């Protein structure tokens, strides 16, 4: 009798341990994906193509990032908007408008609004880096899909997390930790938008997805595609770079 109950206790401990292990490893994988694609710091040049029902446009921009909390984007072309810049520091966003030579902090009520006409919201820019903080992460699938071994994660917002999604599904390729797609679901469980990562090639010193494609579900045919043309990691840059002064600095 005693032996049996001991055995049960051991089993119980084991199952708790394995759940805990699963949780930690899911987080580890996400963090590792993040480290690869972001690096400690980075600088790049990317072209953003936005296609909507009403217009299409291409914007080329230079981007810098430091850790997860600081980044800066400056528009290079079209000429009419060159110099327009966005600074993200912690949870705040500032836009610099060269035409009027003013810096505007995006108010909280506009954080859900579109960033530079794209299908990304201002919130996306500051929240994207906080997956691990804002979500409970579990492995929803571990195995082969379309002859590729992948993990699929289900990210459920923590109760107090300031997140607009009901949950997020995220697929990662196992052999090189490349993200394949992320699907964002609303609170009713309906698919709201899909981000697809593609064209994995060496840029800087590592293989990264060089194209990201955001497609909103409610506007078929519309998309925002970001294509990296240059990328370098772990550059010599510090916090002082991510200031309102450098935001205003014209090229």
Partner 1 sequence: MSESPWWRIGWRNLGRHRKRTVITALGLAVGYFAVVFLVGWVEGITAEMVENATGLVSGQIEIHASEYRPERSLYETIGGREGTDVAQMLREIAADSAVVAAAPRVYAGGLVSSGESTSAGMFMGIDPQLEPTLSRFLDELSAGRLPEPGRNELVIGTEMARQLVAGVGDEVVVVAPGADGSMGNDLFRIAGIFRTGMAELDATFAVLHLGDLQTLVVLEPGRIHEVAVSTADPWIAADTAARLAANLAPADLGLEVAPWTELRPEMVEYVALAQSFYFVIFVVVFAIAIFGVANTMLMATFERRREFAVMLALGTTPRSVVLTVISEAFAMGLLSLLIGSAITFPLMIWWHNAPPDLSWLYGEVTMFGALLTPSLRVEYNLAVWLQSGVALVLTALLAALYPAVRAARVPPADTLSGL
Helices H / strands E in the chain, number of each: 4, 13
Considering the complex, what minimum distance in angstroms separates the CB of residue 90 from partner 1?
17
Considering the complex, what minimum distance in angstroms separates the CB of residue 43 from partner 1?
24
User: Could you give the CA distance from residue 226 to residue 202 in angstroms, rounded to a whole number?
Assistant: 16
Interface residues with partner 1 (CB under 8 A)? 50, 52-57, 80-81, 84, 95, 97, 99-100, 102, 104-107, 109-110, 114, 116-117
Residue number with CB closer to partner 1 (111 or 137): 111
Residue number with CB closer to partner 1 (97 or 207): 97
Considering the complex, what minimum distance in angstroms separates the CB of residue 109 from partner 1?
5
Token pair, residue 35, equals 């480290």
Residue number with CB closer to partner 1 (1 or 79): 79
User: Could you give the CA distance from residue 118 to residue 212 in angstroms, rounded to a whole number?
Assistant: 13
Residue number with CB closer to partner 1 (159 or 221): 221
Residue number with CB closer to partner 1 (147 or 245): 245
User: Could you give the CA distance from residue 95 to residue 104 in angstroms, rounded to a whole number?
Assistant: 5
Q: For residue 7, what are the β-bridge partners? A: none
Considering the complex, what minimum distance in angstroms separates the CB of residue 235 from partner 1?
28
- CA angle at residue 32 from 148 to 166, to 5 degrees? 80
Considering the complex, what minimum distance in angstroms separates the CB of residue 116 from partner 1?
6
Residue 137: how many CA atoms within 13 Å on its side-chain side?
Answer: 21
* Cβ atoms within 10 Å of 224's Cβ, excluding its own: 23
């Amino acid at each position: 009798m005693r032996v049996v109950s001991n055995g049960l206790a051991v089993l119980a401990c084991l199952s708790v341990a394995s759940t805990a292990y699963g949780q930690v490893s899911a987080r580890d994988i996400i963090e590792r994906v993040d480290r690869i694609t972001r690096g400690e710091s980075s600088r790049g040049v990317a072209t953003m193509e936005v296609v909507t029902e009403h217009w299409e446009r291409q914007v080329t921009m230079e981007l810098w990032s430091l850790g997860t909390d600081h980044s800066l984007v400056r528009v290079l072309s079209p000429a009419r908007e060159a110099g327009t810049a966005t600074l993200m520091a912690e949870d705040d966003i500032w836009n610099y408008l060269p035409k009027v030579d003013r810096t505007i902090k995006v108010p909280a009520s506009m954080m859900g609004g579109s960033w530079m006409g794209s299908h990304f919201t201002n919130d996306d820019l500051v929240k994207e880096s906080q997956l691990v903080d804002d979500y409970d992460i579990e492995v929803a699938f571990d195995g082969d899909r379309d002859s590729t071994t992948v993990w699929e994660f289900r990210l459920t917002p923590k109760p107090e997390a300031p997140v607009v999604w009901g949950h997020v599904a995220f697929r990662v390729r196992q052999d090189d930790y490349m993200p394949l797609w992320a699907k964002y679901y609303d609170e009713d469980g309906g698919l709201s938008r899909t981000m697809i990562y593609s064209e994995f090639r060496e840029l800087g010193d590592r293989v990264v997805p060089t194209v990201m494609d955001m497609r909103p579900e409610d506007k078929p045919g519309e998309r925002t595609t970001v294509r990296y043309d240059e990328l370098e990691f772990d550059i010599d840059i510090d916090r002082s770079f991510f200031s309102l002064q450098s935001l205003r600095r014209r090229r």
